[in-house]
Amino acid sequence: MECASFFSLEPEGDILFLTPIRNLGDLDMMGVVESCQAIVERFESSGCRHVVLDLGSIDYFGSTALGLFIQLWSKVSQRGGKMVVCDASSDEQNILRHTRLDTIWPIVATRDDARRLIEGNSTS
């Protein structure tokens, strides 16, 4: 499966907006894993430093998708970038809180809030 079956990727300057376009439950594990590799490769070749994970079009993600987000964050942090989550449902926010990832990835309401947060903290 291609990256496009699970995610939309939109580079804007040095920010890559990553938007899941369908729920990422573990039932779709193989597709998510394949998308994982494609997304990391696209991030690495994009020249972007930051990622905004826009969860507005889904209300759930599974552990495989969480693994993707962590892998992507590792690449972002290697570039000195920031990863911000926006438009997360209450269930998604709970997952991020229970895994304590909310202490690493700020959670904001909108893409504009995410962009402002990154631009306010960017050294580029």
pLDDT of residue 36 exceeding 80? no
pLDDT for the residue 27? 43
For residue 20, the cross-strand partners are 7
Q: What is the pTM of this model?
A: 0.87
- Could you read off the pLDDT of 65-75 as tens digits, one per residue? 888 899 899 99
Mean pLDDT of the chain: 86
Return the number of other C-beta atoms located less than 10 Å from residue 90's C-beta: 8
Residue 23's CATH number = 3.30.750.24
- Enclosing domain of residue 21: 3-121
Domain count, the chain: 1
Q: In this structure, are strands 50-54 and 83-86 parallel, antiparallel, or unpaired?
A: parallel
- Could you read off the pLDDT of 74-105 as tens digits, one per residue? 999 999 999 999 999 999 999 999 999 999 99
